[in-house]
Structure 1
Amino acid sequence: MGHHHHHGHSHSHTDLKGRNLLISILLNIVITVSQVVGGIISGSLALLSDALHNFSDVLSLVISYVATLLGRKKASKNKTFGYKRAEILAAFINAATLMVVAVILMIEAVERFFEPQEIESNLVIWLSLIAILGNGFSVLLLRKDSEDNMNMKSAYLHLLTDMMASVAVLVGGLLMKFYQIFWVDALLTLAIALYLIYMGYDLLKESTKVLMLFTPRTIEVQEIVESICTLQPVKNVHHVHIWQLNEDEIHMEAHIDFKEDIKLSEFDKILEDIEEHVYHKHGINHVNIQPEFDKCDSKSIIVQD
C-alpha cells in the first residue's frame, strides 16, 4: 500500500487569525451588553433581537477561536488526525445557531407586529450606530480569512449579518423618531431573521457535507478513475473513497488492479504519477493506493463501503 500527501501550514497566519478573532470577541461583548441595556430601557424588540444575535456572535467567535487553537495541535497515537476537523465542526455549530436565532426572532417579531409598542428611538439610533461601527471593524478584520476557511467564514457571516441587522435597526429608529411608525420595529426584526436563514443555510449545508465525508462537489470520481486507467500497467480502479478532511486537505484512497505482477519499484513510480496528476488536476493532496494483481474481488464496483 502506498500513500503520499502535499500540504503546508503557516503558524504566523494562524496566530493572526486568532488575534483578529479575539479583538472581534471583545468588541461584540461590549456591543451586546450595551444593546441589552438599551433594548430594555427603550422597549425596542429590534434592538433586543440585535443584542441576541450579537450574543450568538460572541459564542460563535469563541467557538471559532477555540477551534483555531485546537487546529494547531499535532496528531497523536490516539488522535491520528489531530484536531484538523475542529474548524469544520465550529462552522457547523455556528451555522446551526444562526438558524435557531432566526426562528426565535421570527416568533418574537410576529407577536410584536400585532401589538406594536412605543419605543425610545434616540437610544435605538445611537446604539445601532455603535454596533455598526464595531461590527464593521470586525468584518474588515475577518474578511480576507473568510475567503478560504469555512470556520472563519462562519464567524464572518455572523458579524456581517449583525452589521446588516444594525443598519436595519438604525433605519427603523429614524422612522420611529420622525414618523412614529412603531410597527416597523417588528417588520425589521422579521427581515433580519429571514436574512439569517438565507445566509446560514449554505454554510450549514457545506459543513454538513464535509462532516459526512461526502466527495467535494468540484471532484468527479469517474473522471479520476478514467484518467488513472490510461496509465499503461493499470487494469482497473475500484473501491474509491474521496473526502475532505478540513479546509486544506482532500484525501483519496483506492484499489488498483494491475495487468501484470509488477515490482514494488515500478509501483512507486506509478504511484508518484497518480499523486502528481490528482494533486494538480483535482487538488487531492493525500493519496492512499492499495495495489492488487489477480485478487478475487469485484473489480466493477467503483464506489463501495
Structure 2
Amino acid sequence: MSHGHSHTHTHGHGHSHEDGHDHSYVNTPLKALAIAATVTGVIFFAELIGGLVSGSLALLSDAMHMLSDAAGLIIALLAAVVGNKAASSKATYGYRRVEVLAALFNAVAVTLVVVFIVVQAVRRLGSDYEIDTGMMLVVALIGLVANAISAWALSSQQ
C-alpha cells in the first residue's frame, strides 16, 4: 500500500561497533548466499548418505553436484566479503580480484566432480547393480525442494 512516501530504513550513520570493525558488508544478499549454502550443504549430506545406502549413482552424482554448489556458494560468500574491502596501499583497486579467483577455483572443482561422475558411470557399465529406487526418489525430491528454497532465497535478493 503506497502512502506517497518511502518506508526505507538505512544504517548509513557511520558508527563503529564494539569490535572496531565495520559490519556493513553483512547485507541481505550475503545472508541469502549463506542460507543457500547452508541448505545446499545439508542436502549434500542427505544425498550422499541416501546414495550410499540406496546404491544410486544418480544420487551420488547429485550429491557431488550439491557439494560443488555448496562450495561455490561458500566461495562466492567469502569472495563477496573480501571483495567489499576498501582499497588500500597494498590493494589499490580493492579486493574484487578475489571474486575472479573464486570463480576459477569453483570451475576447477566442478570439472573434478564431472570427472568423478564419468569414471563412476563407466565403471558401472554392463554391471548388474541393484538400486533402492524408493529411497532414491524420496531423497531426490527432498533435494529438489531444497534447490527451490535456495533459488528462491537467491532470486529474492535481485
TM-score interval for Structure 1 and Structure 2 normalised by the shorter chain = 0.7 to 0.9
**Matched residue, 1:20:** 32
Aligned to 1:118: 130
Counterpart Cα distance in 1 of 2:135 and 2:70: 22
| 1:134 CA displacement | 0.4
Structure 2 residue 138 is matched with structure 1 residue 109: no
Counterpart Cα distance in 1 of 2:58 and 2:64: 10
After TM superposition, give the deviation of residue 58 of structure 1 in Å: 1.5
Amino acid at match of 2:101: L
Partner of 1:41: 53
Report how far residue 13 of structure 1 moved. Answer: 8.9
Give the greater-gyration-radius structure (CA): 1
TM-score between both structures, scaled by the size of structure 1: 0.42
Report the secondary structure of 1:60's partner residue.
helix
Equivalent position of 1:72 in the other structure: 84
Q: Distance in 2 between matches of 1:99 and 1:69?
A: 25
Residue number in structure 2 paired with 1:99? 111
Distance of 1:43 and 1:123 partners within structure 2 = 10
Count of matched residue pairs: 136
Distance in 2, matches of 1:44 and 1:101, equals: 16
- 1:29 is matched by which residue type in structure 2? G
Q: 1:113, CA displacement in angstroms? A: 2.0
Q: What is the percentage of aligned positions where both structures have the same residue?
A: 37
Asked which structure has the greater RCO (Cα within 8 Å, sep 6+), the reply is 2
Matches within 5 A, 1:105-184: 105-143=117-155
Q: What is the distance in 1 between the residues matched to 2:51 and 2:132?
A: 9
Match of 2:101 in 1: 89
Change (3 A) 1:145 1:97: farther
C-alpha offsets along residues 259-297 of structure 1, whole Å, 9 cap, x if unaligned?
Answer: xxxxxxxxxxxxxxxxxxxxxxxxxxxxxxxxxxxxxxx
Alpha-carbon distance in structure 2 between the residues aligned to 1:126 and 1:24? 21
RMSD after superposition: 2.1
CA deviation vs aligned residue, 1:164-184 (integer Å, no higher than 9, x gap):
xxxxxxxxxxxxxxxxxxxxx
2:77 maps to amino acid: Y
Task: Please give the alpha-carbon distance, in whole angstroms, between the structure 2 residues aligned to 1:44 and 1:89.
Answer: 34
CA positional deviation for 1:132: 0.4
Shift of 1:65: 0.5
Quote the offset at 1:48 in angstroms: 1.1
* 1:15 to partner: Cα distance: 1.4
Among 40, 62, 68, the alignment partner of 1:50 is 62
Preserved CA contact (<8 Å) 2:44 2:63: yes
Alpha-carbon separation, structure 1, partners of 2:125 and 2:62: 17
Does the 8 Å CA contact 1:14/1:68 hold for their aligned counterparts?
no
The alpha carbon displacement at 1:72 in A equals 1.3
Letter in 2 for 1:81: Y
Shift of 1:143: 3.7
For the residue of structure 1 that corresponds to 2:41, the secondary structure is: helix
